Structure 1
Amino acid sequence: MQRTHTGALRAEAAFACTQSRQLRPSRAARTVTAVLAPFPGADTAASTTADLKKLSLITVFGSAPAFSSHGSGTLIDIKIAINNTDLLSPSTSVSSSIPAIKTPYLPSGKFDLDSYDRLVADQISHGVQGLIVGGTTGEGHLMSWDEHIMLIAHTVNQFGRDIKVVGNTGSNSTREAIHATEQGFAVGMHAALQINPYYGKTSMTGLKEHFKAVLEEGPAIIYNVPGRTSQDIPDDVIMGIAAHPNFLGVKECTGNDRIKAYADRGVTCWSGNDDEAHEGRHCYNSQGVISVTSNLIPGLFNSLMHTRDDKMNESLQDLMSWLFCEPNPISLNTALSMCGLIRPVFRLPYVPLSKEQRVRGAALLEGVREHLPAGVTEIRAMEDSEFELVKGY
């Protein structure tokens, strides 16, 4: 990657985005304006090359005033050349379990990158091939776009050689989805997760046009979760975009019958329902699962996607039911806190589970203790006073 610095940083400085990436197949090399700014969670602005590990790249396709909130950042120009060898394609799609990774926080509400890196590293050690950054579980909807893109950049920089990074850059605004997806590919993500427009819903024709527009930016998994968007993406919409070279498949939350119907027509699907994912994989031909539960038991859940084990799957149903006793990611945030894997910090409007549910969850977690991420020394139901709720993030 050719880098031209307008600030004091030297040309050999290490950036969060370390490799050239293709923005879309039809684009030649292009120059974008970017800012190098302190990553949320970094205590001070970096001033040396070594300190740049605490910095991340935010790309911007607008004017310099967009950086007004980053007074300590350094404006740079980056020439992004075509290099699509690392991007996902239909022939290289990851299978098995893809965790929708949790984003942990410091008491200030900023990202706790040390805890985040430990969570991701543990997933990789258990054989997962890809992860979703800033999804529902990762609370991308509670992030500014600057935070969102910086977290994608950080993940690529730290783990992009070992795992495929799928950035959740969808939006109910087509313009915003395109903008965020451009940014995500500029900092090195391998694919995007694209949801259908919610709240301001559109027609079926509008859905097709929206997805065609965002697919022009690079490889994407379409995300169908009508329980959150209040609008199903019907099969005729999916089949209308399935021939696009950047279409990877669907994260499907309506059930295994839909997954089977797609699989029979050559459309790759990942289950969006953990409790149905084992059956979906082995009986309905899904590619695997984009999972919440994998945050807690990555090796076990990954194994269930590779090897049929009805008895083990049945034994996990109570845990998975508990993880969704309140809207996701409330239970997962609580569970990871109870295991001491993250600080017990919640960005509002999320709050921890009730004490009654925490006691129930502690017993369920004890049942899978040997499969929990490394570093769990005790599992505690905790007291209400131990949790911190952050509103000014």
Structure 2
Amino acid sequence: MSALDGTLVSSRQWPTPTLRRRRSDPSNNSLHYNSSRRSGGWRAPEAAVIPNFHLPMRSLEVKNRTSTDDIKSLRLITALKTPYLPDGRFDLEAYDALMHIQILNGAEGVIVGGTTGEGHLMSWDEHIMLIGHTVNCFGGTIKVIGNTGSNSTREAIHASEQGFAVGMHAALHINPYYGKTSADGIISHFEAVLAMGPTIIYNVPSRTGQDIPPSVIRTVAQHANTAGVKECVGNDRIKEYTDEGIEAWSGNDDQCHDARWGFGARGVISVTSNLVPGLMHELMFEGKNSTLNSKLMPLIEWLFREPNPIGLNTALAQLGVIRPVFRLPYVPLPREKRIEFVNIVKELGREHFVGDKDVQVLDDADFVTIARY
């Protein structure tokens, strides 16, 4: 037996099939495999069972190192938008400006390449590059949580290894979607990635087609690297977790105020904070405020009338903080909805929104949609 980092690996030498010419035809120059010396017939060689000694590609260096408890303490985490140049590449100048605004307004963490950031429209090279860029530029000021989840466990492992290698503080992991799996399969999927670092589990059945039941969350919550769960099912589910000491963040902006102050949620992982980070910070940090929560509802309802991030992309473009560029299959909201957003901004107050340009109604011709990127 040999050892690799304390893991025993079998050193048994498996028999190598022999090469022989066919006896029936001495002139036949073809070769064939035969693993038996006692028989002229072919039989399958014994399969080698390879022990599972996968070791996480971890580093013990301390730069940007964070603990699971550090992630558990975050109250306002913004699921950050990824802006684009007219050719579909990342607009890092606009991205950095969005990051600065989040930091100045008190956001404690950002999700990079999540649903809002359109990670599902990125190659993994783009994805890891953006995580690395965010860490290098802002990792000393704000917690960087990389969305490295996948419906493929192999991809989730590889992306998480790369994300932690470039310095992200935590990972966001979704349950396998579309193909789905059993409850035991979900647990095995999460256990395969949890060893690499602090992790937030993300439950959003409307997108995955499958709820992560509390029994699964209770099991994976026992792992030291489980920071908690971003829960989109509702506040009753959040209270069920928080009553058991499992950290939870609301994944629904329209429910996050009540989740925070009435159901025990640690905070929110927010889309709306892309637009009004200061007001979302007030909502999460300064106690119960039903008046402010009600004031934000028209904006939140407008944002999610079509699947996220369609509304957010349209809004940020009309605020002049990103170029009006969409990667398909996303397209801008129709003109009447764009007019409605301008009225919402005026009602809530332009000073509460990101950027310093006047909000405007863009024409259809102002938008660029890109199919190849």
Question: 5 Å matches for 1:106-121?
Answer: 106-121=85-100
Q: 1:259 aligns with which of 214, 234, 238?
A: 238
Q: Please say if 1:311 is aligned against 2:291.
A: yes
The residue aligned with 1:371 is 352
Alignment of 1:68-83 (within 5 A): 80-83=59-62
- Cα offsets for 1:238-259 (capped at 9, x unmatched): 0011110100000000000000
- One-letter amino acid matched to 2:311: S
Quote the Cα distance in structure 2 between the aligned partners of 1:221 and 1:286: 14
TM-score by length of 2: 0.83
8 Å CA contact 1:339–1:378 kept in 2: the answer is: yes
**Deviation at 1:330?**
0.2
Q: Any residues of structure 2 matched to 1:179-328 within 5 Å, and which?
A: 179-307=158-286, 308-328=288-308
**Which amino acid in structure 1 is aligned with residue 274 of structure 2?**
N
The count of aligned residue pairs is 317
State the Cα distance separating 1:275 from its structure 2 match.
0.4
Deviation at 1:327, TM superposition (A): 0.2
Distance 1:138 1:82 in 2: 29
Q: Secondary structure at the match of 1:311?
A: helix
Structure-1 residue corresponding to 2:361: 381
Q: Distance in 1 between matches of 2:334 and 2:68?
A: 43
Q: Which residue of 1 aligns with 2:82?
A: 103
Task: Give me the whole-angstrom Cα distance separating, in 2, the residues matched to 1:116 and 1:94.
Answer: 25
Q: Is the 8 A contact 2:64 2:139 kept in 1?
A: no
Deviation at 1:97, TM superposition (A): 1.5
Counterpart for residue 74 of structure 1: none
Q: Give 3-state SS (helix, strand or coil) of 2:173's partner.
A: strand
Q: For residues 79 and 303 of structure 1, do their structure 2 counterparts lie closer, same or farther at Cα, with a shift above 3 Å needed?
A: closer
Match of 1:352 in 2: 332
Q: Letter of the aligned partner of 2:343 in structure 1? A: A
Q: Is the Cα–Cα contact under 8 Å of residues 90 and 247 in structure 1 kept in the other structure?
A: no
Task: Output the CA distance in 2 between the equivalents of 1:276 and 1:79.
Answer: 37
Structure 1 residue 83: Cα displacement = 3.0
Unmatched 5+ residue regions in structure 2? 7-56
Check the 8 A contact 1:198/1:229 in 2, yes or no.
yes
Distance 1:157 1:257 in 2: 38
Aligned-partner Cα distance in 2 for 1:337–1:384: 12
TM-score by length of 1: 0.79
* Bigger Rg, which one: 2
Q: Distance in 2 between the 1:324 and 1:145 partners?
A: 27
Structure 1 unaligned blocks of 5 or more: 1-25, 28-77
Query: 2-side partners of 1:244 and 1:80: how far apart?
Result: 19
Deviations 1:271-297 (A, max 9, x none): 000000001000001010000000000
**Given the superposition, is the C-alpha separation of residues 96 and 216 from structure 1 closer, same or farther in structure 2, using an over 3 Å criterion?**
same
Q: CA deviation at 1:381?
A: 1.4
Give the match for residue 334 of structure 1.
Answer: 314
Residue 390 of structure 1 pairs with residue 373 of structure 2: no
Choose the corresponding residue for 1:157, options 131, 136, 159. Answer: 136
Deviations 1:295-336 (A, max 9, x none): 000011011001211001001111100000100000000000
Displacement, 1:370?
A: 1.3
Q: CA deviation at 1:177?
A: 0.1
Structure 1 letter corresponding to 2:331: V
